[in-house]
Structure 1
Amino acid sequence: MSAVLESMNPDAAPLAAPLPEKRARSERLASQGVTLSNGKPRLRAFLLAVLPPVLGLGLLVLLWQILSLNNSSFPSPAVTFAEAVRMFADPFYRNGPNDQGIGWNILASLKRVALGFGLAAAVGIPLGFLIGRFSFLAGMFNPIISLLKPVSPLAWLPIGLLVFKSADPAAIWSIFICSIWPMIVNTASGVQRVPQDYMNVAHVLQLSEWKIFTKILLPSVLPTMLTGVRLAIGTAWLVIVAAEMLTGGVGIGFWVWDEWNNLNVPHIIIAIVVIGVVGLVLELALVALAKAFTYEQAGT
């Protein structure tokens, strides 16, 4: 079209060509199904991202409502929501050691998870590097890991009570012992998958072990190691709820069990939702961390 216009009017200035960066952006958006001139693909992408989760949650609420209609002892979504509004209006009240707001219980559980998980990371990640780096240590620790990894985390709770003589350290011990295995296994697996060519170059350059660790192993193993961390934090949050049910004290697990003893079913349902939301937030935080440290090839 521009050539025809130029032939009809030779004195007219040639039409400006689209800027390369704008054309590249348009092509990239078009490959994703989004166009700048038409809003339909963009609206369709938005609906595909939002509509399925909304429908899924709606189906869950519908099944919940049907269950409450057929069982008078089971609270309806409306009753549970009204109780949740009342509860979260003051989540940090204190009326005694066994009567505290749900906020204090969540913080107590997160504190135990942070301590147990932090200790597991401090021990498990370095041990995973050593097992993956040295075959002698791998042969030494692999049978122990294979033997102890399948054991249920709650089976370790009596050992913790016997050793520490207190419920709180025993719960932290249970988190530690269940969180350490994914970090050890994934870190060691990542070290063992480092290309041998990298290690050969390190030997030729006579790099020290510290240089090999910081320049070769750590950048290569980081994504795999963070996958183990993600698995460990999910397991730790599952374990703390069960451990607190058995040990008592302040915590979201003990709070659920205490509400069951009081036959307060709406509070139990609220606690289940809170546990799921907190676990989801922890998972998303570690996914974001893993993406930030994942190396991808340019142009992909």
Structure 2
Amino acid sequence: MIRNSRWRAGAERLAGASAGPVTGFALLLLVWKIISLRIGDIPAPETTLLAAYELFKNPFYDNGPNDVGIGWNILASLGRVALGFLLAAAVGIPLGFLIGRVPVMNAIFSPIISLLRPVSPLAWLPLGLLLFKAANPAAIWAIFICSIWPMIINTADGVKRVPPDYLNVARVLNLSEWKVFTRILFPSVLPYMMTGVRLSIGTAWLVIVAAEMLTGGTGLGFWLWDEWNNLNVQNILIAVLVIGIVGLLLDLILLALAKRLDYSEA
């Protein structure tokens, strides 16, 4: 009896949590269907989903440089995003700690960040091509330079928000800078830092699609643009859905990681 009641309570919680997303997706499909009925060039949801099923039946075929399965395109985009994002994290997070901790560093870098942060991602791509003389490093460069700012800003803001009493106690105890970092700064700044990381991965995923449209090769952006040139609207819609789903999964993974590392919930 107790087991049945627990199962029922769990099912009710699951139904309550899924009601909103299911309703939202149903509305999206309904709007999509209405648009497809009014505009003949827009494929209906059911035909697009059937085409997606056919694409994903064999996602890793390879018929040459410009004819590979969607699986290879997803992996190529994820690989570029991972490399550019990790480089941005390796530079941006330590720099954010320094800017938040050292007033001189804040005075030096804040104007530079304010100047460069609003620059469009695509504006960095020609500079990357000029610097690296190749499309792939240029795309990674664009990801790096555009995803670094949220990590710097959020990490620095987190350091500045550390309660002064914590640092005063550290001074009284004569803690080393390393102990101040590991025992005070890092646990306090971690939620802000993870927010910056989530914003950065979203930015990186946005940038890579636009960059691949211009640089060519393998990747979701190039595949989307190639399908546009072939006037294959079904595959364009599939590309949009795939880009959205992968971006959502990346955000959910980082959100779960942020909750796991949040000391305040321990």
Question: What is the TM-score when the length of structure 1 is the normalising length?
Answer: 0.84
Secondary structure class of the residue paired with 1:296: helix
Number of the residue aligned with 1:102: 70
1:118-197 correspondence to structure 2 within 5 Å: 118-197=86-165
- Give the 3 Å change call, closer, same or farther, for CA 268–192 of structure 1 in structure 2: same
CA shift digits 1:38-82 (9 cap, x unpaired):
95x766544432223222212211221222222222111121111
1:265 maps to a residue whose letter is: V
Distance 2:81 2:257 in 1: 18
Q: Which amino acid counterpart does residue 88 of structure 1 have in structure 2?
A: F
**Aligned-pair CA distance for 1:100:** 0.4
Map of 1:1-300 to 2, 5 A cutoff?
36=5, 45-296=13-264
The structure with the largest alpha-carbon Rg is 1
Give the distance between the partners of 2:265 and 2:122, measured in 1 at CA. 43
Structure 2: how far apart are the matches of 1:91 and 1:67? 29
Describe the superposition over 1:4-35 as per-residue Cα deviations: whole angstroms up to 9, x where unpaired: xxxxxxxxxxxxxxxxxxxxxx9xxxxxxxx9
Structure 1 letter corresponding to 2:125: L
Q: Structure 1's 276 and 297: CA in aligned 2 closer, same or farther, altered over 3 A?
A: closer
Letter in 2 for 1:140: I
Give ranges in structure 2 of 5+ residues lacking alignment. none
Of Structure 1 and Structure 2, the greater helix share is in 2
Judge which range, 65-74 or 235-244, deviates more: 65-74
How far apart, CA to CA, are the structure 2 residues paired with 1:277 and 1:77?
16
For residue 102 of structure 1, report the CA deviation from its aligned partner: 0.5
Question: Aligned-pair RMSD on alpha carbons?
Answer: 1.9
> Following the alignment from structure 1 to structure 2, what is the Cα–Cα distance between the partners of residues 46 and 123?
41
For 1:153 and 1:49, locate their aligned partners in 2 and report how far apart those are by CA, in whole Å: 36
CA distance in 1, matches of 2:6, 2:170: 54
Instruction: Please list the CA deviations of residues 204-255 of structure 1 after superposition, one character each: whole Å capped at 9, or x if unmatched.
Output: 2222111111111111111111110000000100110001001111000000
- Which runs of 5 or more residues in structure 1 are unaligned? 1-25, 27-34
Q: What is the letter of the counterpart of residue 243 of structure 2?
A: I
Q: Which residue of 2 aligns with 1:11?
A: none
Q: Distance in 2 between matches of 1:216 and 1:232?
A: 24
Deviation at 1:135, TM superposition (A): 0.4
Larger RCO (CA within 8 A; separation ≥ 6) = 2
Aligned residues: 264
Deviation at 1:297, TM superposition (A): 6.2
TM-score by length of structure 2 reads 0.94
Superposed structure 1 runs of 4+ greater than 3 Å apart: 35-39, 41-47
Shift of 1:293: 1.1
Measured in 1, the distance between the counterparts of 2:137 and 2:35 equals 40
Select between 74-83 and 281-290 the one with higher mean Cα deviation: 74-83
